[in-house]
């Protein structure tokens, strides 16, 4: 590196010396000619220049991405001062490189290039989640701010009943606690813990927006929305269209759940004319409600299969849960995971150090070093999460032979949907094939199972939508630090119909209590994934000729589905996402109708239950 820099400096010095000599000794006429040469504009970039630029970007990106991945893995599995320092430094380098590449890519906006090159140039400009301004000090500051925010969340703790409780433990308590006073205490203390992030978050927004403007985008939100093969404003309209398709089902579910919680807690805690208290839903963010499924079931109704209880009774371990997820994919014809996956993954939470427990899938070398990072517990949630995260891993491996810039999902919702699609296939028939149950329940049990799934899958939809809607408003300036919290609760009220259990103020920063906000991870992918997973699932069931109720289908063991599925996965992001969607489903539009078809029996039942209730909030 030193030699390379020295040569560059020598070349620059030589050029200055030659030009100085020419201008000092040449005749006047010659001097004018030389001046004209040096004053002339650089040659306009060409298609060949663009191709050479792409080659350089892919080579340099491939080299640094593995280094960055390994540093980030070290941090995520061992949070210390030193690993935080390393993450900040590599983040500074990669951000600067990405911004420099994006700025350079703009030079080719008006150049006639082939479709593949144009797509790669667009990806270079759109591929930065939080672009820093070109100022080196700003690059360093943004890296430091984002690292502090991520660490503040992952190492956050609260004091409860004289004990120090970690972030992951607060989530467990929210799942299992039923005392509304205690729930409000846990919820409030964790959300109060996020208050200290607010100044850093506001600064991150400033820096990110400055970087986005240098790339030609109005703000970071517009940059994020530009990555869906359509204009940013069209994408915002598209997600609103999808929401209108599925909102009637959510509204019916909300109405029924509120009525049942009212039966449990009474009018003072759950008024029937107000949004539901967010802390009562069995989840810190009220984003999934499955953990309070027992509270909303009718007396005498079959609550469905208690998978957590069954897994423990059958002697499942965290390792066996991951192995079971792998077996689903291999049943479709995918090759088993590499030996290094089992050697290098974090499957359970280490006892001797701080780690990021939020589950994630990793591709460290863009080839074969794929891993999961989980703090797996023997529970139904983690059983589904294992299938989800392995979906990322099998997708990563499927597109490993694509060019560097096309190693990704067709859109970010695709990546999240793959494993979720498989999770839908965790039906009683699948459980029977695994030996978890001896007999598939008859159709009279379906409402319990559908309610169980809806309490997570349908309850999540508005939250999946509003997280980035809030950030779009923040990045655009519609919300300021003084109105961050007010805007957050306005959206949560509007879309979810939930409210805070305790008084919140403008000084609070309740969005920061959700991992993806301080971590700077776009969230719309999760909303799209919930839609796409049902589309993918219905397409798979159609391919095997399934004739029964959609929710009873499992495609476990279908090599036909696996072959067609893998063909879509292998495309990576080399084609616009409608092409990939069409390859597997036969349609080019994301659509919520498969969700409605899946939950049709439940929708009929909910409407009957709610016919004499006052719904809405």
The pLDDT assigned to 296 comes to 87
Q: Is the pLDDT of residue 37 over 90?
A: no
Question: Residue 39: its pLDDT value, please?
Answer: 53
pLDDT digits (tens, 9 = 90+) for 464-494: 999 999 999 999 999 999 999 999 999 999 9
pLDDT at 434 over 50: yes
Please state, as a whole number, how many other Cβ atoms lie within 10 Å of the Cβ of residue 417: 29
- Residue 603: other Cβ atoms inside 10 A: 19
Distances from the Cα of 451 to the Cα of 260, 291, 362, angstroms: 13, 12, 32
The 10s digit of each residue's pLDDT in 400-426 is 999 999 999 999 999 989 888 988 888
Q: How many CA atoms lie within 13 A of 286 on its CB side?
A: 27
Query: What pLDDT does residue 487 have?
Result: 98
> Would you give the end-to-end CA distance of the chain in angstroms?
63
Do residues 345 and 338 make contact, with C-beta atoms less than 8 angstroms apart? no
Cα–Cα distance, 459 to 293 (Å, whole number):
12
Q: Which of 34-48, 143-157, 177-191 shows the lowest per-residue confidence on average (mean pLDDT)? A: 34-48
Confidence category of residue 448, pLDDT binned at 50, 70, 90: confident
Tokens at 345, concatenated: 């993954």
Instruction: Give dist(CA 489, CA 497) in Å, integer.
Output: 10
DSSP codes, 122-190: HHHHH--SSPPPSSHHHHHHHHHHHHHHHHHHHT-EEEETTEEEEHHHHHHHHHH---HHHHHHHHHHH
Helices 2-25 and 28-39 cross at an angle (nearest 10°) of 140
| Residue range 498-557, pLDDT digits in tens | 999 999 999 999 999 999 999 999 999 999 999 999 999 999 999 999 988 999 999 999
Alpha carbon separation from 300 to 294, 398, 446, 599 (Å, rounded): 11, 47, 14, 21
Buried b (16+ CB within 10 A) or exposed e, 211-245: bbbbbebbbbbbbbbbbbbbebeebbebbeebbeb
Whether 207 contacts 135, CB under 8 Å: no
Identify the three-state secondary structure at position 372: strand
Distance CA 565, CA 542 (A): 13
Length of the chain, in residues: 617
Over residues 294-316, the mean pLDDT reads: 83
Confidence label for 1 from pLDDT (cuts 50, 70 and 90): very low
Q: What angle do CA 521, 169, 384 make, to 5 degrees?
A: 60
User: How does residue 303 score in pLDDT terms, banded at 50, 70 and 90?
Assistant: low
Lowest mean per-residue pLDDT among 37-51, 247-261, 410-424, 490-504: 37-51
| Cβ–Cβ < 8 Å for 280, 290 | no
**Catalytic site residue 354?**
no
CB 518 within 8 A of CB 525: no
Q: Which two tokens stand for residue 491?
A: 């959206």
| Active-site option among 252, 288, 377, 389 | 389
Residues pairing with 278 in the sheet: none
What's the half-sphere exposure (Cβ side, CA atoms, 13 Å) at 154?
23
Question: How many Å apart are CA 600 and CA 543, to the nearest integer?
Answer: 21
* Beta bridge partners of residue 160, listed in sequence order: 163
Q: Does residue 330 carry a pLDDT above 70?
A: yes
User: At residue 373, what are phi and psi to the nearest 5 degrees?
Assistant: -125, 110
Question: Which residues, including other chains, have CB under 8 Å from residue 256's CB and lie 6 or more apart?
Answer: 296, 606, 609, 610, 613
pLDDT higher than threshold 60 for residue 277? yes
Over 90: is that where the pLDDT of 328 sits?
yes
Average pLDDT in the chain: 90
What pLDDT score was predicted for residue 40? 54
Mean pLDDT of 609-614: 95
Q: Give the whole-angstrom CA distance, residue 315 versus residue 313.
A: 5
Give the whole-angstrom CA distance, residue 141 versus residue 567.
42
**pLDDT for 300:** 61
Report which DSSP code applies to 556: T
Report pLDDT for 517: 96
The percentage of residues in the chain with a pLDDT greater than 90, rounded to a whole number, is: 78
Do 599 and 450 form a contact (C-beta atoms < 8 A)? yes
Mean pLDDT of 285-313: 85
Model pLDDT for residues 555-568, shown as the tens digit of each residue: 999 999 999 999 99
All residues at 6 or more sequence positions from 126 whose CB lies less than 8 Å from its CB, including other chains: 223, 226, 227
Tokens of 82: 């030193």
Catalytic residue among 516, 560, 570, 600: 516
The pLDDT-based confidence of 19 (bands split at 50, 70, 90) is very low
Q: Which of 157, 108, 103, 111 is nearest to 135 (CA)?
A: 103
Position 456 pLDDT exceeds 60 = yes
pLDDT grade for 233, boundaries at 50, 70 and 90: very high
SS3 assignment, position 97: helix
* Radius of gyration over every alpha carbon of the chain, rounded to an integer in angstroms: 27
Q: At what angle do helices 198-214 and 460-476 cross, to 10 degrees?
A: 70
Residue 516 annotated to the active site: yes
pTM exceeding 0.75: yes
**CB neighbour list of residue 271: distance below 8 Å, 6 or more residues apart:** 262
Q: Higher pLDDT residue, 449 or 408?
A: 408
Q: How confident is the model at residue 266 (pLDDT cuts 50, 70, 90)?
A: very high
Window from 219-228, 411-420, 455-464 with minimum mean pLDDT: 411-420
Nearest to 111, CA basis, from 199, 43, 201: 43
| Sign of the CA dihedral with 497 first, then 498, 503, and 507 last | negative
Domain extents in the chain: 1-40, 307-446+532-580
Q: What residues are paired with 360 via a beta bridge?
A: 373
Token digits of residue 215:
């790339």
Q: Which residues 6+ apart lie within 8 Å of 419 measured at CB?
A: 387, 388, 389, 390, 391, 392
């Amino acid at each position: 590196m030193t030699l390379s820099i020295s040569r560059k400096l020598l070349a620059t010095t030589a050029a200055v010396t030659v030009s100085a000599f020419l201008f000092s000794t040449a005749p006047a006429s010659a001097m004018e000619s030389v001046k004209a040469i040096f004053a002339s504009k650089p040659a306009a970039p060409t298609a060949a220049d663009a191709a050479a630029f792409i080659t350089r970007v892919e080579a340099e990106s491939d080299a640094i991405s593995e280094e960055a991945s390994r540093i980030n893995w070290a941090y995520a599995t061992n949070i210390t001062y030193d690993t935080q320092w390393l993450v900040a430094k590599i983040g500074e380098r990669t951000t600067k490189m990405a911004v420099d590449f994006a700025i350079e890519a703009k030079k080719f906006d008006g150049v006639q290039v082939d479709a593949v090159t144009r797509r790669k140039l667009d990806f270079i400009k759109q591929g930065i989640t939080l672009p820093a301004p070109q100022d080196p000090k700003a690059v360093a500051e943004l890296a430091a701010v984002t690292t502090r925010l991520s660490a503040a969340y992952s190492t956050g703790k609260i004091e409860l009943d004289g004990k120090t409780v970690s972030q992951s433990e607060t989530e467990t308590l929210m799942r299992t606690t039923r005392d509304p006073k205690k729930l409000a205490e846990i919820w409030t203390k964790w959300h109060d813990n996020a208050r200290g992030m607010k100044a850093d978050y506001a600064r991150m927004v400033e820096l990110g927006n400055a970087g986005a403007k240098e790339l030609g985008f109005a703000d970071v939100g517009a940059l994020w929305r530009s990555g869906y093969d359509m204009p940013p404003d069209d994408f915002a309209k598209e997600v609103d269209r999808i929401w209108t398709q599925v909102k009637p089902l959510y509204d019916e579910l909300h109405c029924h759940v509120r009525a049942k919680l009212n039966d449990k807690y009474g009018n003072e805690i759950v008024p029937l004319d107000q949004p539901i208290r967010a802390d009562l839903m069995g989840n810190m963010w009220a984003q999934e409600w499955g953990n309070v499924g027992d509270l909303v079931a009718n007396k005498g109704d079959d609550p469905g299969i208690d998978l957590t209880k069954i897994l423990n009774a059958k002697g499942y371990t965290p390792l066996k849960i991951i192995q079971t997820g792998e077996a689903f994919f291999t049943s479709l014809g995918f090759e088993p995971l590499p030996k290094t996956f089992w050697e290098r993954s974090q499957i359970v939470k280490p006892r001797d150090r701080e780690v990021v427990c939020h589950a994630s899938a990793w591709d460290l070398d863009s080839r074969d070093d794929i891993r999961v990072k989980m703090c797996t517990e023997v529970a139904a949630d983690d059983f589904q999460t294992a299938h989800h995260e392995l979906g990322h891993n099998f997708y990563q491996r499927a597109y490993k032979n694509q060019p560097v810039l096309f190693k990704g999902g067709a859109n970010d919702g695709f990546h999240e949907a793959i494993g979720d699609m498989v999770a839908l296939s965790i039906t009683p028939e699948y459980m029977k094939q695994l030996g978890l149950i001896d007999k598939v329940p008859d159709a009279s049990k379906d409402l319990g199972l559908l309610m169980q799934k809806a309490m997570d899958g349908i309850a999540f939809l508005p939250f999946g939508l509003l997280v980035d809607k809030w950030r779009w408003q923040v990045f655009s300036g519609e919300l300021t630090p003084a109105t961050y919290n007010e805007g957050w609760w306005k959206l949560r009220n509007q879309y979810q119909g939930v409210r805070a259990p305790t008084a919140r103020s403008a000084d609070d920063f309740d969005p920061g209590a959700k991992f993806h906000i301080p971590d700077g991870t776009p969230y719309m992918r999760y909303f799209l994934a919930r839609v796409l997973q049902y589309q993918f699932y219905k397409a798979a069931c159609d391919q095997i000729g399934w004739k029964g109720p959609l929710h009873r289908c499992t495609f476990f063991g279908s090599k036909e589905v696996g072959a067609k599925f893998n063909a879509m996965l292998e495309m990576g992001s080399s084609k616009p996402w409608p092409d990939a969607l069409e390859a597997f489903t036969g349609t080019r539009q994301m659509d919520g109708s498969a969700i409605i078809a899946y939950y049709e029996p439940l929708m009929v039942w909910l409407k009957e239950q709610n016919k004499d209730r006052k719904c809405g909030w």
